[in-house]
Amino acid sequence: MTTTSLKLPAELKQRAANVASQLGISTHAFMIGAIEQAAIAAERRARLLAEASEARHEMLESGKGFDAEEVHAYLEAKVSGKPAGRPKARAWRG
């Protein structure tokens, strides 16, 4: 494990120490967890943006897409545990 120094504003350091104490962990463990969570969130966001960009490219190339209302109805049914047929891609160009 490598060592890294952080210069934190006193108020932020105290907040981290207070929360860590409430969680029953060290301030160090709290900071490691917070940095890990931030890294995971940033990586997920980057993957989401890359996938969205690829999907947009595919949609523009194929000229097909999904009706938003059909997608919303499908997702609502799935979340509710109801059977639902997957929406079909349709040509969106005139």
Q: List the chain residues with pLDDT less than 50.
A: none
Residue of 46, 66, 71 lying closest to 56 (CA atoms): 66
pTM for the predicted model, two decimal places: 0.72
Angle at 89 between CA 85 and CA 91, to 5 degrees: 145
Predicted local confidence at residue 76, as pLDDT: 96
